Structure 1
Amino acid sequence: MHSCSFFVALLCLMGLSSADPVKFVDCGSTSGKVTIVDITPCPSQPCQLHKGDSYSVNVTFSSTVDSSSSTAVVHGILGGVPIPFSIPVGDGCKSGIQCPIQQQQIYNYQATLPVKTEYPSLKLVVEWELRDDNKNDLFCVKFPVQLV
């Protein structure tokens, strides 16, 4: 019985370790450097975001500046036009980051992306920025999604 439980636990761990981070493009991180972007759940890419559900967005980055605050700004890009997305918490200091932000430190930004039921079903690019005190991007990432 113990070997069966061990085998199941091992398979689960193998599944978690084989999950790939989301492919992203840096779109102007002037005050930091992004290392990983994860969206949960996102079993395949582009991530299929189901209307009415919420998704966890995690961005690991290092800062090249000091900043006492941080502000998240999110857009959906359709035909080159940025359309604002609302997120529940825009303050990065309340999203897994302990402020003040210090240069040469690594941070793990964590946020929730709710997908409203009134959004149309389509493919688009999400642009997610976290801005410092001077409104420069600690990170700016773009990743494709499909709203279903």
Structure 2
Amino acid sequence: MNSFFCFTFTFMITLGVTFVFSESNVTPSEQCPGQNFDGLRDRIQVIPCGKKRCKLQKNTNTTVVFKFKPREKVETLVSDVYANIGELKLPFIGVTGVSACPNIKRADTGEPAPCPLEANEEYVYTNVFPIEKYYPNTRLIVYWSLNDGNKQVICFEVPAVITSAAS
């Protein structure tokens, strides 16, 4: 009876930790208006991020990782990233307008995948960028799009808040 209790207790703890870990990797995200990318929430991870809003702390770095599969061949990829604060759109300096090609890897092997990218192949984009100390403390929506010319390859929005640096 004692070994059964230990086994059951260990199993329940392991199951609970697994559930909490898997739930903590979910980034709250939405489709960009007019877009529909399959399984979007399962493809995006912003670190650090809470269940309802990503917390972007000044003087720290934020990591964005997402999987995507272009519907057609992609010649070049350029990031379009900005903070949407009400009606005001403020670009994330050093991220917006920058080639995303150096940040792309093949999803199956993890090998670098420089542009051009083939259609219907899965890729992983990773970017680490600073939350600058001069950014205002505010709630916002982070708009993130990778574009090939005028075509959106993937686009999503993430609710976030910029907070002061820890002292």
Tell whether the structures are fold-level matches, with TM greater than 0.5: yes
1:20 equivalent in structure 2: 25
Contact 2:77-2:100 at 8 Å conserved across structures:
yes
Gaps of 5+ in 2: 1-9, 106-112
The residue number in structure 2 matching 1:77 is 84
- The structure that has the greater radius of gyration is 2
**Structure 2: distance between partners of 1:79 and 1:122:** 11
Mapped to 2, the partners of 1:19 and 1:37 lie a distance apart of 12
TM-score (norm 1): 0.80
1:34 and 1:102, CA in 2 relative to 1: closer, same or farther beyond 3 A? Answer: farther
- Structure 2 residue corresponding to 1:94, chosen from 97, 102, 106: 102
Contact map agreement 2:31 2:37 (CA 8 A) in 1: no
Determine which structure has the larger helix proportion and give its number.
2
TM-score normalized with structure 2 length: 0.72
Hey, which bits of structure 1, 4+ residues long, moved more than 4 A? 28-34
Query: Can you give the 5+ residue segments of structure 1 that lack an aligned partner in the other structure?
Result: 1-6
Secondary structure of the residue that 1:63 maps to in structure 2? coil
Instruction: Please tell me whether the aligned partners of residues 56 and 161 of structure 2 are also in contact (alpha carbons under 8 angstroms).
Output: yes
**CA separation in 2, counterparts of 1:82 and 1:139?**
19
Bigger relative contact order (CA 8 A; separation at least 6): 1
When the two chains are superposed, the root-mean-square deviation of aligned CA atoms in Å is 2.6
SS at match of 2:24: coil
| Structure with the largest fraction of strand | 1
